[in-house]
Amino acid sequence: MSSVQIYDRAMCCSTGVCGPQVDPVLPKFAADLDWLKNQGHDVQRFNLAQDAAEFAKNPTVQSMLASEGVECLPLVIVDGRIVSRNEYPTRENLALWTGTSLAPKGALPVAGSGGCCGDTGCC
């Protein structure tokens, strides 16, 4: 399974979904990260206001901040490689970068082309 790290700008809480004006992207992204965790991936999310030490100890993040400033945040790193910066990726992108199927676990099989009963010939 993949290791996914998200380095967020300074926010009031760990997910940014509190306060009087919530960016509508943040609750969706938080749900996408929960989905990714439920698929078995190691997901860590760091907030610049609350987890500054995590930013300081990652050389890749330090380099990005030195060259681009906080404008590069949010920074998404999958298995040690930067895959996204300056925007929150979609669930589809998270799935692509981690090799995760978007189909729900235990999805029902789709019937064949033989009508409502599939190709069984019972209809």
Structural domain harbouring 13: 3-98
- For 74, phi then psi, to 5°, come to -70, 145
Residue 122 resides in a domain: no
CATH number of the domain that 8 lies in? 3.40.30.10
Residue 113 resides in a domain: no
Region of poorest pLDDT, from 1-5, 22-26, 46-50, 91-95: 22-26
Residue 106 resides in a domain: no
Region of poorest pLDDT, from 13-17, 35-39, 48-52, 92-96: 13-17
Q: How far is CA 56 from the centre of its chain?
A: 22
Q: What is the pLDDT of residues 68-113, one digit of tens each?
A: 999 999 999 999 999 999 999 999 999 999 999 998 765 555 555 5
Residue 103 resides in a domain: no
Give the count of domains, the chain. 1
Residue 104 resides in a domain: no
Residue 112 resides in a domain: no
43 vs 103, residue with greater confidence: 43
Q: How far is CA 82 from the centre of its chain?
A: 13
Residue 109 resides in a domain: no
Residue 117 resides in a domain: no
Helix (H, G, I), strand (E, B) or coil at 84: strand
